[in-house]
């Protein structure tokens, strides 16, 4: 429902004309037209699925939608209605058990969701009502309410900012939990609104809710007594989004315009749909095959029954007459009930117990993730968290990894690493014994002598201190607007700056739109130049010599992603006018004197390949004339009504020429621990890693380099707004051209990649990395013409699939999900995994097959919506390579084994029909039929599926390539399934006919007495239980005491049970069929011999196969896929 609505909004944005009208503070407008307050949804967030009332019917409905449950329900009903060979209890009880357990589990999970919802919905907020401040629960907020929000609080709904405690009518927010950008963004109050909200009489007309975080259009009509209503336009800069946090502003007031599920944050969520693992899909496919087998068996038997009965004397021999009722029954009805009876008789071929065992395996198995002490992070004092256990095995099948950047790959913690002044590299050292805390680590020749001159150094540092848009943070206790307080604080800061180990409060000293600006300012501070802040239009800096220098800020030439640089024009005390410019190397180098470039280029390139974010710094003196010209140009351009952007750009370009390069900086966005190693391991395991981030391209790119997702020899294919605008033609054309070109490069010209090549191998060829940004992506996905759209999408996908890594930047949360969805639904439907830590990753976490949340700093949204949560990125490696691999092998074996053991269980029963006149006579006693799956053969496979380690964990972690061995659902494809089925058929035939030939003469005891049909069944059953258990024993590679206990224990239990079951005349049973049958069987030597013979004969081919399948040749170990039985070579390599 929600999704449909979303699609409507996404798809046909422009066609929607209706807008909503909101009365601020619910005061009706002054004009007397009858105003009916429209109905909007309340501010309740609902993520739970059930209520107390609908739980039972809804949950039962959901459960019986599962093909297996429905099937068992049908079987149960048939058993109740029709006279069948087995009692309804045999299928009713297990079904009831399964349904109940699942319902309890789902009920509990939903209760947790209710609790989480309540936490959000009951959060207290302050509402201004008729001048009074009323505390309310968050869910009671209505559209039109005026809310007051304090610093560091999260907005409870989408608000239009009306009033701020800051004097300049702005406020700062951070949208970290929405789009991952943790910087402070400035939002503005609606211009000209009255200070007194009490008397504000206004209505807001705005568009209906839509999920794009960066779009908002609206109008505000302000009614004043006896005046024409004033109209103010509203844009995204006036809108405060739910989920973002107020920063650096004491308090704001705003009016709620979108609430509850209509907030932009909620619209960016997708409904949590039930995720199904690939294994479950395989199970369903196998189930269908077995269902076909079952139905055809029943059909064959029914047909043959009536053919057989047609022979005279067979239908109703004198010794077995029918009752009157049977004679009266309609023939076709009889046929039908016979068919159903056969279905019931053979229904054990589809094991209800498999579902129970699979559920138990998943539930219990997931504890190993929670228990793993390697996932424990001492910092947050938490380990891994498993939200759904349904997807354990999917962790072993991942082909695409979509990772968020901020907070996931990186710590979002910029740090100034080094700089290069005039070609000399300066690396800051914490221990800084050097005179100025400066240390030359690498220069063209001898270190000390060739240090760049002090003048240059100071110029460089001044540039760093001046060329930015950073503000000094006002701490709240000093925020009363007192200048002195500010001064004190600033002074304090200055003193701190001199210390080499600044106290932690200094960390929050600056706010800026980009964290690396802060890093630069802080970097300069460490070298002795401290930025003290603005004083009206004057910038103050504290120099190394503890002098305060003042610079008048004349102009800021803003940063934009196309120019990729920014400048400031300042005037020093001495009257010099200076332009400082910093920007990406590619945009600075052409604008400075060429002889300076070469010395610095080397450093910049080295830094870039190390994954640092590099910026070059240049300056230029402006003489009075030049300045006057620039000043006039800038002023004129700023006032222009048309093409303002272009005009500004022209002036910028004109001013920023002929500069001199001073140096370069290297800032590191600290990667998460072992991020690069983890990424390398994932790629080694054959996974493709895509980085999806809301961040800027440059930042993201350097992170990719740092994580070694892009390598030095990776050729980058860029499809961004910048490359689209390069050609100067229409974007659409250019897009088409680029797509085709890249496709040719990456897909057509690339040598066909063989499966299983290692990364080292492929990097010898050509590596491609692909970069796309959000705007271009939406062009690719929503191209104007339908045919182009799908074609572009295809091209895009093909290019991406041939690239080792893909970087998508400037993504809206929903776009991330779109990408995941696109890959998920592409050819071969690969298994995708999303990992992220913020609310902006929630949609992709929900969309991917497996969603992983990182317990990061940006709230708990991601963790709550994820399937698994881990404290750090580095844990992903073990989670996938060790846990995922093992879980997959375990469950795949579990599934195959279950089908196998039930096939060879039921096949003899089927064959027996040919010898009992197709009369649905069960071969085994009812107790054996029920207990086979529950008691005799269930525990060993459960223990196996929990404890098996066909390859030990260390080896799995060390050899990422092993992960490829089970890729593409390798153990559950039709090949292995066919093999197991064949094995089951072979065993079933062997069991039945082996005993059949033995019973050619039923006198099997040395006293000449004969065995009856229950002895027959018991011999078959004994062989069956032993063979099936020993087959598992043969497959077990990791025998812990639990395995020993369970395997030998099950066999012993079977023997014990059989004695017990046959040793007593059971008082409540109608028939004492098995009385002493088992004991009598054991007294017969022939029975012993046939049991031993059949068990061995069943297992010998398996052993032979194992022996002959062993890898041959020197490199066999690397090539052969890992099956549970071929692992010896791995041990050898250890």
Partner 1 sequence: MVKEEKEIANRPDNTAFTQQRLPAWQPMLSAGIVIPGFVLIGLAFIGIGVALFVTSRSITVLEIDYTGIEKDSACFKCSNADVKNCVCNLVFSIDSLFEGPVFFYYGLSNYFQNYRKYAASRDDEQLSGDLDAFTAPSDSCSPYDYNSNDKPIVPCGAIANSMFNDTFVLYRVVNGANKLVPLDGKGIAWWTDYNVKFRNPSVTPLKNAFNNTVKPIFWPKPAYQLDASDPANNGFINQDFLVWMRRAALPDFRKLYRRITDGEYAKGLPAGNYSLTIAYNYPVESFDGRKKVVFSNVSWMGGKNEFLGIAYLVVGSLCVLMSIVMLIVYAKFKFPEED
Looking at residues 889 to 928 of the shown chain, list those that interact with partner 1 (rule: CB under 8 A): 912, 915-917, 919-922
Interface residue with partner 1, options 998, 1023, 1030, 1051 (CB under 8 A): 998
Structure tokens at 48: 């739970």
Residue 22 lies near partner 1 (rule: CB under 8 A): no
Other C-beta atoms closer than 10 Å to the C-beta of 860 total: 16
Residue 1027 lies near partner 1 (rule: CB under 8 A): no
Interface residue with partner 1, options 336, 997, 1056, 1060 (CB under 8 A): 997
Q: How many residues bind partner 1 (CB under 8 A)?
A: 97
Residue 307 lies near partner 1 (rule: CB under 8 A): no
Residue 1009 lies near partner 1 (rule: CB under 8 A): yes
Strands 510-511 and 471-472 turn out to be: antiparallel
Interface residue with partner 1, options 352, 707, 947, 1030 (CB under 8 A): 947
Residue 932 lies near partner 1 (rule: CB under 8 A): no
Give which of 549, 541, 544 is closest to 528, Cα–Cα.
544
> Which of 721/1033 has CB closer to partner 1?
1033
Give the full edge-to-edge strand order of the sheet including 170-174. 184-188, 170-174, 245-247
**Coil, strand or helix: which one is 669?**
strand
Least Å distance, CB 983 to partner 1, is 17
Least Å distance, CB 398 to partner 1, is 20
Interface positions, 551-580, toward partner 1 (CB under 8 A)? none
Name the CA dihedral angle for 76, 81, 82, 87, rounded to a multiple of 10 degrees: 50
Interface positions, 1104-1133, toward partner 1 (CB under 8 A)? 1104, 1106-1108, 1110-1112, 1116-1117, 1125, 1128-1129, 1131-1132
Residue 653 lies near partner 1 (rule: CB under 8 A): no
Least Å distance, CB 754 to partner 1, is 23
Interface residue with partner 1, options 429, 558, 826, 1040 (CB under 8 A): 1040
Triad 49, 51, 56: Cα angle to 5°: 90
Structure tokens at 312: 């005279």
Per-residue interface string for the shown chain with partner 1, residues 1082-1101, x marking contact by CB under 8 A: --xxx--xx--x--xx--x-
Per-residue interface string for the shown chain with partner 1, residues 46-85, x marking contact by CB under 8 A: ---------------------------------------x
Give the full edge-to-edge strand order of the sheet including 239-240. 132-137, 124-129, 146-150, 251-258, 158-164, 239-240
CA-to-CA separations, 377 to 860, 863, 875, in angstroms, rounded: 16, 15, 10
Residue 619 lies near partner 1 (rule: CB under 8 A): no
> Which of 673/1006 has CB closer to partner 1?
1006
Per-residue interface string for the shown chain with partner 1, residues 311-350, x marking contact by CB under 8 A: x-xx--xxxxxxxx--------------------------
Least Å distance, CB 337 to partner 1, is 13
Q: Return d(Cα 742, Cα 734) in angstroms, integer.
A: 12
Interface positions, 377-406, toward partner 1 (CB under 8 A)? 378, 381-383
> Which of 935/1125 has CB closer to partner 1?
1125
CB–CB of 881/963 below 8 Å?
yes
Interface residue with partner 1, options 39, 373, 483, 754 (CB under 8 A): 373
Least Å distance, CB 1115 to partner 1, is 10
Contacts of 407 (CB under 8 A, 6+ apart): 176, 180, 182, 836, 837, 838, 854, 856, 857, 858
> Which of 459/946 has CB closer to partner 1?
946
Interface positions, 1046-1065, toward partner 1 (CB under 8 A)? 1065
> Which of 35/371 has CB closer to partner 1?
371
The residue to which tokens 């908002």 are assigned? 216
Q: Is residue 179 among the annotated active site residues?
A: no
Least Å distance, CB 1018 to partner 1, is 10
Structure tokens at 616: 């070059």
CA-to-CA separations, 750 to 268, 717, 756, 762, 799, in angstroms, rounded: 38, 14, 16, 11, 11
Interface residue with partner 1, options 503, 575, 728, 1000 (CB under 8 A): 1000
Residue 999 lies near partner 1 (rule: CB under 8 A): yes
Residue 1071 lies near partner 1 (rule: CB under 8 A): yes
> Which of 134/1089 has CB closer to partner 1?
1089
Residue 765 lies near partner 1 (rule: CB under 8 A): no
> Which of 1052/1100 has CB closer to partner 1?
1100
Strands (E), 958-997: none
Q: Return d(Cα 988, Cα 687) in angstroms, integer.
A: 41
Strands 548-560 and 184-188 turn out to be: unpaired
CB–CB of 392/366 below 8 Å?
yes
Structure tokens at 283: 């199970």
CA-to-CA separations, 323 to 342, 548, 1113, in angstroms, rounded: 20, 114, 71
Q: What crossing angle do the helices spanning 1013-1035 and 938-947 adopt, rounded to 10°? A: 10
Structure tokens at 38: 């429209």
CB–CB of 455/421 below 8 Å?
no
Q: Which of 158, 404, 585, 925 is catalytic?
A: 404
Other C-beta atoms closer than 10 Å to the C-beta of 427 total: 14
Interface residue with partner 1, options 7, 54, 274, 370 (CB under 8 A): 370
Interface residue with partner 1, options 59, 121, 1080, 1123 (CB under 8 A): 1080
**Coil, strand or helix: which one is 1068?**
coil
CA-to-CA separations, 1026 to 801, 898, 1097, in angstroms, rounded: 49, 15, 12
Interface positions, 85-114, toward partner 1 (CB under 8 A)? 85
Among 14-22, 576-584, 750-758, 989-997, the segment contacting partner 1 (CB under 8 A): 989-997
Task: Write out the catalytic residue numbers.
Answer: 404
């Amino acid at each position: 429902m929600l999704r449909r609505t979303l699609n409507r909004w996404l798809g046909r944005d422009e066609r929607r004309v209706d807008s909503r009208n909101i009365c601020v503070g619910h005061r009706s407008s002054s004009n007397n037209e009858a105003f009916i307050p429209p109905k909007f949804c309340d501010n309740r967030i609902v993520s739970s699925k059930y209520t107390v009332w609908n739980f039972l019917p809804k949950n039962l409905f959901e459960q019986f939608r599962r093909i297996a449950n429905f099937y068992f329900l049908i079987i149960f009903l048939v058993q109740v209605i029709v006279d069948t060979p087995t009692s309804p209890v045999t299928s009713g009880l297990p079904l009831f058990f399964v349904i109940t357990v699942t319902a309890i589990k789902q009920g509990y999970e939903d209760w947790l969701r209710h609790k989480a919802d309540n936490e959000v919905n009951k959060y207290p907020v302050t509402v201004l009502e008729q001048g009074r401040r009323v505390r309310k629960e968050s869910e009671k907020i209505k559209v039109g309410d005026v809310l007051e929000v304090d610093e560091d609080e999260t907005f409870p709904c989408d608000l239009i900012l009306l009033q701020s405690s800051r004097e300049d009518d702005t406020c700062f927010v951070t949208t970290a939990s929405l789009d991952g950008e943790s910087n402070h963004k400035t939002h503005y109050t609606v211009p000209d609104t009255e200070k007194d909200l009490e008397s504000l009489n206004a209505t807001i007309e705005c568009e209906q809710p839509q999920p794009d975080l960066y779009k908002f259009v609206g109008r505000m009509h302000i009614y004043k007594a006896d005046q024409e209503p004033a109209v103010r336009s509203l844009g995204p800069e006036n809108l405060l989004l739910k989920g973002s946090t107020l920063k650096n502003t004491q308090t704001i007031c705003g009016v709620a315009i979108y609430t509850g599920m209509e907030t932009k944050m909620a619209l960016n969520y997708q409904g949590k749909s039930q995720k199904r693992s690939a294994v479950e899909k395989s199970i369903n496919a196998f189930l269908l095959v077995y269902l076909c087998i079952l139905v055809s068996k029943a059909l064959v038997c029914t047909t043959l029954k009536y053919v057989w009965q047609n022979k005279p004397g067979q239908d109703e021999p004198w010794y077995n007459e029918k009752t009157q009722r049977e004679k009266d029954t309609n023939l076709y009805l009889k046929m039908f009930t016979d068919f159903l009876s056969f279905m019931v008789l053979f229904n054990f071929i589809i094991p209800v117990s498999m579902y129970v065992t699979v559920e138990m395996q998943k539930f219990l198995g997931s504890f190993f993730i929670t228990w793993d002490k390697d996932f424990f992070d001492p910092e947050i004092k938490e380990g891994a968290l498993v939200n759904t256990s349904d997807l354990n095995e999917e962790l072993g099948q991942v082909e695409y990894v979509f990772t968020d950047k901020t907070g996931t790959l990186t710590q979002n913690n910029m740090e100034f690493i080094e700089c290069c002044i005039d070609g000399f590299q300066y690396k800051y050292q914490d221990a800084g014994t050097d005179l100025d805390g400066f240390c030359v680590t690498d220069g063209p020749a001898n270190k000390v002598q060739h240090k760049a001159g002090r003048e240059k150094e100071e110029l460089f540092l001044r540039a760093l201190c001046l060329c930015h848009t950073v503000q000094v943070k006002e701490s709240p206790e000093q925020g009363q607007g007192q200048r002195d307080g500010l001064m004190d604080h600033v002074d304090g800061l200055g003193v701190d700056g001199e210390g080499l180990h600044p106290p932690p409060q200094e960390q929050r000293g600056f706010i800026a739109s980009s964290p690396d600006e802060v890093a630069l300012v802080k970097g300069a501070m460490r070298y002795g130049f401290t930025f003290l802040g603005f004083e009206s239009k004057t910038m103050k800096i504290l120099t190394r010599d503890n002098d305060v220098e003042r610079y008048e800020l004349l102009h800021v030439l803003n940063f934009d992603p196309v120019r990729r640089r920014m400048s400031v024009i300042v005037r020093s005390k001495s009257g010099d006018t200076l332009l400082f410019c910093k920007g990406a190397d590619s945009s600075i180098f052409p604008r400075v004197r060429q002889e300076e470039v070469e010395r610095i280029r080397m450093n910049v390139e080295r830094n870039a390949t190390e994954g640092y974010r590099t910026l070059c710094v240049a300056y230029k003196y402006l003489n009075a004339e030049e300045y006057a010209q620039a000043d006039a140009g800038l002023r004129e351009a700023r006032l222009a009504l048309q093409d303002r952007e272009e005009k500004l750009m022209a002036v910028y370009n004109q001013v920023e020429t002929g500069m001199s390069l001073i140096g370069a900086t290297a800032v590191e966005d600290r990667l998460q621990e072992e991020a690069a190693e983890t990424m390398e391991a994932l790629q080694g395991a054959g996974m493709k890693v895509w980085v999806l981030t809301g961040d800027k391209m440059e930042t993201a790119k350097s992170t990719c380099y740092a994580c070694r997702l892009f390598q030095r020899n990776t050729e980058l294919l860029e499809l961004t707004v910048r490359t689209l605008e390069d050609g100067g033609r229409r974007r659409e054309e250019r897009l088409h051209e680029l797509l085709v070109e890249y496709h040719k490069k990456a897909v057509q010209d690339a040598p066909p990649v063989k499966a299983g090549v290692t990364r080292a191998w492929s990097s010898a060829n050509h590596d491609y990395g692909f970069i796309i940004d959000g705007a271009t992506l939406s062009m690719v996905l929503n191209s104007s013409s339908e045919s182009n759209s799908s074609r572009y999408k295809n091209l895009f996908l093909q290019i991406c699939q041939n690239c080792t890594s893909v970087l998508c930047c400037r993504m809206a949360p929903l776009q991330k999900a779109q990408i995941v969805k696109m890959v998920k639904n592409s050819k071969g439907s690969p298994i995708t995994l999303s990992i992220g830590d913020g609310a902006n990753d929630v949609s992709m976490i929900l969309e991917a097959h497996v969603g992983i949340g990182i317990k990061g700093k940006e709230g708990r949204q991601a963790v709550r919506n994820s399937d698994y949560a881990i404290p750090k990125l580095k844990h992903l490696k073990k989670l996938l390579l060790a846990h995922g691999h093992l879980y997959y092998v375990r469950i795949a074996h579990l599934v195959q084994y279950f089908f196998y053991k039930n096939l060879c269980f039921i096949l003899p029963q089927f064959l027996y029909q040919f010898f009992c006149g197709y009369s649905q006579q069960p071969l085994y006693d009812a107790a054996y039929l029920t207990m086979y799956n529950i008691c005799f053969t269930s525990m060993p496979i459960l223990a196996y599926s929990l404890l098996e380690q066909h390859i030990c964990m260390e080896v799995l972690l060390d050899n990422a390539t092993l992960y490829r061995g089970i890729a593409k659902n390798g153990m559950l494809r039709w090949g292995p399934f066919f093999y197991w089925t064949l094995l089951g058929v072979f065993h079933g035939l062997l069991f039945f006919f082996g005993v059949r030939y033995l019973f050619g003469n039923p006198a099997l005891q040395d006293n000449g007495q004969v065995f009856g049909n229950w002895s027959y069944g018991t011999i078959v059953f004994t062989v069956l239980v032993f063979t099936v258990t020993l087959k598992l024993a043969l497959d077990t590679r990791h025998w812990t005491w639990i395995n020993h206990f369970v395997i030998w224990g099950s066999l012993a239990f079977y023997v014990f049970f059989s004695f017990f079951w046959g040793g007593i005349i059971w008082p409540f049973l109608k028939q004492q069929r098995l009385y002493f049958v088992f004991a009598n069987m054991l007294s017969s030597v022939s029975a012993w011999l046939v049991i031993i013979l059949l068990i061995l004969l069943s297992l010998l081919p398996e052993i032979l196969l194992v022996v002959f399948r062993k890898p041959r040749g020197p490199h066999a170990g690397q090539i052969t896929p890992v099956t549970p039985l071929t692992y010896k070579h791995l041990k050898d390599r250890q």
